[in-house]
Structure 1
Amino acid sequence: MGQSQLPVYYLFIHPNDLKELRGDIWCEDPIQGSLKINKKKLDIDLLYRGSHTRKFKKKSYNIRFYQPKFYLGSKEIHLNAEYKDISLMRNKLSFDFFTSIGVLAPKAQHVFLHLNGKPEGLYLQLESVDEQFFQKRNYPLGAVFYAVDGDANFSLLSDLDQDVKESLDLGYEMKFGTDEDVGYLQELIYKINTLPRNEFEQSIQDYVNVNQYLRWLAGVIFTQNYDGFVHNYSLIRNKETGLFEVSPWDYDGTWGRDVNGKVMEYDYVRIEGFNTLTARILDIAAFRSEYRSIIEHILVNEFTVDYMKPKIENLYKQLRPYFLKDPYIQHLISKFDQEPEFILNFIKDRSRYISENLHKLE
């Protein structure tokens, strides 16, 4: 496939169903349609996806396959409009970055979508973090919990009103697992908040894969996802080890911009991060040292202009011809053209800021 070519998807929805879908953007009852990829016709169920993003002119979609039930090993995919990210790169750059530093992250692929014969524009196809995600990676999955709001803060207190939570699993939605796994999650939250300081270093390793957690934390810090500490992640339980790990999700508000596309200064998120579990882990000298070593390695290897520039430029060259065909954003091409340099400048500034603040991890 040439550098400038993207997969082209053809989505067909009956006009009456499309009218119904557009009439109630919050409807959770899927409508039927078909998706043609590489001349292969797939029967699908379809919903709008996202929360505040449903109000945008360009919608994002959750697509579930039912005939056949799987496509390329997946039973569902997400097509993200990336409407507030003028670069359309930030999610993909983030997930690829997390993968490069040893964190499980969804695969992302840009596609160009047609809806009922008309161009609907550039989309980012995201892999769903579900049972199939882990089967493809030979990962012994026990459970997956989505952090759906700020109450997924690893605390006994609600992030919303600071009252004691009614339930310890508040803020999470189980994607895969059992009632027993909910119990493991509740026990995790309880232990994070009640283990005495002199027991924490040893005991927390019976619940959390600490090295993996620190790698995920570093990924949030480098990409500067302000919401990433209490939201925008999946909590995964490894069936073999019994330990919880974390995987990123929704990273369009990164690399120097927030979720609304506004500039987020390179020093906005501190190197120590946030949330109760992070604070308790970094309170332990051995974990703090391990975290510093991870950050120092990433500063030299993955979070550099030399490493990231070819990836950014290749994506930019691939997306630009399709950006010009996107009816929702084509008029913003001059802003799109400025984003590669903007992201590279963020990497320079953020790298310097993190280097200058390493002493806080001593």
Structure 2
Amino acid sequence: MLPSYDLFIHPMHLVELRRDVWSDEPVPGKLTHEKKKYNIEIVYRGSHIREFEKRSYHIVFYKPRTFYGVNEIHVNSEFKDVSLIRNKLSLDFFQDIGTLAPKSQHVLLTINGKFHGVYLQLESVDEQFLRHRHLPKGCIHYAVDDDANFSLLSDLDQDVKESLSAGFELKCGDAQSEGYLIDFMYKVNTISRADYEKEIVKYVDVDNYLKWLVGIVCTQNFDGFVHNYALYRNSETGLFYIIPWDYDATWGRDIQGRVLEHDYIRIQGYNTLSARLLDVPAFRKQYAALMRRVLDEQFTAAYMKPKVEQLHALLRPYVQKDPYMKDRIDTFDQEQGVILQYIENRNRFLRERLTELD
């Protein structure tokens, strides 16, 4: 049984919301769940997904201010993923291999009495994210565009960035937070090759980063190397951690839902930090060992098949009633095979490329 969220947005505010899908100004509304009402603010979320017929939402709670221990949730339509499970499958996979990742669950959404179908609720990466995991307080930066590429150069025009914090949006922190981020990005790019192994560990948790790199290389979220992630700086250690976010374009599909071939992304991945870490023999050896273990244990059709089948079986009765999905039920059913075949092909490809890390 999926949780059900009933939204009410006054028709006047609904018109305001729909007038400009690119506006980040929220409108007031109410959310009812298990007979309890919450006053909320709601706005469309995402970039290219805002123009989809089935839109995604960012919901903030203000009376009461918390909803099952959080202040806000993201409710994704997953419109281009006909399986509806790739995002959750990815985030759960990252957790399985030991990387910090948001929790997610599928929910049913009704707006002003009209059933809008199956959505994916994503946990926000914020202060509550840290508290629920008993992590020290720290600043969190969201990578919101391609300039969050760990480089001194803009990914948008290949010119020198005006600021090394370009591409990031501060989610939580203080007056020093931007300075920490700028210093980190500067060090990523300017520490000498000879000193990289001993110096970079003062700024980034290398084990966390390499596990994330394994995860993104396996799932093939092409955009995720330069955005679709959050950076958390642990205030006690001073180290940055990378956290994946929004992984629907994975497991053999791109952001438009088209087939993404299993050999599209190389085993080394991309971005400046990945390249510089893998240039260090000790880190490259560590990455190879992590990759080999995941290819043996988690990134296998045998390991993932029960997870895929369980999610498919859970969603199927609701997909048949989803106004945006019910006419694509045959495709929805076929996506199990697409995902599992992708895993087999990608696993074999990565095993063949392990020698490149020697």
User: How far does residue 118 in structure 1 lie from its aligned partner after superposition?
Assistant: 1.2
* Aligned equivalents of 1:196, 1:11: Cα separation in 2: 54
Matched with 1:89 is: 85
CA distance in 2, matches of 1:339, 1:141: 40
The answer on 1:323 being equivalent to 2:319 is yes
Q: Over residues 21-78 of structure 1, what are the superposed CA-to-partner deviations in whole Å (9 max), with x where a residue is unaligned?
A: 1122122221111111111111111101111111011110100001100011100001
Distance in 2, matches of 1:178 and 1:198, equals 34
Can you give the 5+ residue segments of structure 2 that lack an aligned partner in the other structure? none
2:117 aligns to what?
Answer: 121
Does 1:38 find its partner at 2:34?
A: yes
Whole-angstrom CA distance in 1 between matches of 2:99 and 2:162 = 31
The equivalent of 1:351 in structure 2 is 347
Alignment RMSD, CA only?
Answer: 0.7
| 1:222 is the counterpart of 2:218 | yes
| Residue of structure 2 in register with 1:310 after alignment | 306
Question: Which residue of structure 1 lines up, in the alignment, with residue 259 of structure 2?
Answer: 263
**Residue 169 (1) aligns with residue 165 (2):** yes
What is the rounded CA distance, in whole Å, between the counterparts of 1:156 and 1:250 in structure 2? 25
From 26, 38, 51, the counterpart of 2:22 = 26
18-27 or 234-243: bigger deviation: 18-27
CA contact (8 A) 1:141 1:236 kept: no
Cα deviation, 1:61-96, whole Å, max 9, x if unaligned, reads 100001100011100001000000000001000000
Q: Work out which of the residue numbers 218, 243, 249 in structure 1 matches 2:245.
A: 249
The 4+ residue runs of structure 1 with deviation greater than 3 A are none
Paired amino acid for 1:351: N
Q: Is 1:199 aligned with 2:206?
A: no
| Partner of residue 150 from structure 1, selected from 146, 151, 161 | 146
Paired AA for residue 242 in structure 1? G
Separation (CA, whole Å) in 2 of partners of 1:126 and 1:191: 32
- Distance in 1, matches of 2:25 and 2:176, equals 29
In structure 2, the partner of 1:51 is 47
Flag structure 1 segments of 5+ consecutive residues without an equivalent.
none
Q: Secondary structure at the match of 2:189?
A: helix
1:180 CA drift (Å): 1.1
- The structure 1 residue matched to 2:61, chosen from 61, 65, 76, is 65
Q: CA deviation at 1:179?
A: 2.6
Counterpart code for 2:294: I
Note the C-alpha offset of 1:300.
Answer: 1.1
Q: Once structures 1 and 2 are overlaid, which stretch shifts more, 180-189 or 200-209?
A: 180-189
1:298 aligns with 2:294: yes
Amino acid at match of 1:71: F
Deviation (angstroms), 1:141:
2.6
Q: Do residues 333 (structure 1) and 315 (structure 2) align?
A: no
Which of 233, 236, 245 lines up with 2:232 in the alignment?
236
Cross-structure match for 1:273: 269
- Asked if 2 retains the 8 angstrom alpha-carbon contact of 1:32 and 1:46, the reply is yes
Residues of 1 paired with 2:152 and 2:20: CA distance?
Answer: 36
Query: How many residues align structurally?
Result: 358
Query: With structure 1 as the length reference, what TM-score do the two structures score?
Result: 0.98
Q: Which amino acid aligns with 2:291?
A: I
Q: Is the 8 A contact 1:62 1:79 kept in 2?
A: yes
Percent of counterpart pairs with the same letter?
A: 57
Shift of 1:328: 1.3
Letter in structure 1 aligned against 2:306: P
Q: Under a length normalisation based on structure 2, what TM-score does the superposition of the two structures give?
A: 0.99
